[in-house]
């Protein structure tokens, strides 16, 4: 997990279940990454089942139950196998 990953998950949690675009996420305070970088990190987070995409284009992203549990400290992602590199996904 990278620092930006936690910021992405927290922003999705704050959205209260709404679908958010990587472009919007990249404009939020605390997320110091471009839209492309956020989209890439979201793909890694999706591979770890912490977020999900509405479409295959990865245009809209939302927090999963496991992502919520991770934020609550109920899931240790270090115990999961490492996610595949986003370019392989």
- Decide: residue 12, CB within 10 A, 0-12 exposed, 13-18 middle, 19+ buried: buried
> Is residue 8 in a domain?
yes
> Is residue 86 in a domain?
no
DSSP per-residue codes, the chain: --HHHHHHHHHHHHTTT--B-HHHHTTSTT--S-HHHHHHHHHHHHHTTSEEESSTT--SEEE-HHHHHHHTT---GGGSPPPPPTTT-
Q: What is the CATH number of the domain that holds 28?
A: 1.10.10.10
> Is residue 83 in a domain?
no
> Is residue 89 in a domain?
no
Q: How many whole angstroms separate alpha carbon 32 and alpha carbon 28?
A: 8
pTM: 0.84
Q: How many whole angstroms separate alpha carbon 20 and alpha carbon 15?
A: 8
> Is residue 87 in a domain?
no
For the stretch 31-84, pLDDT in tens is 999 999 999 999 999 988 999 998 887 789 999 999 999 999 998 777 766 666
Domain span at residue 9 reads 4-75
> Is residue 70 in a domain?
yes
Q: How many domains does the chain fold into?
A: 1
């Amino acid at each position: 997990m990278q620092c930006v990953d936690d910021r992405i998950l927290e922003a999705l949690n704050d959205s209260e279940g709404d679908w958010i675009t990587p472009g919007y996420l990249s404009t939020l305070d605390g997320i110091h990454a471009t839209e492309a970088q956020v989209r890439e990190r979201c793909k890694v987070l999706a591979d770890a089942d912490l977020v999900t995409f509405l479409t295959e284009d990865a245009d809209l992203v939302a927090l999963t139950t496991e992502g919520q549990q991770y934020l609550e400290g109920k899931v240790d992602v270090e115990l999961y196998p490492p996610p595949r590199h986003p370019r392989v996904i």
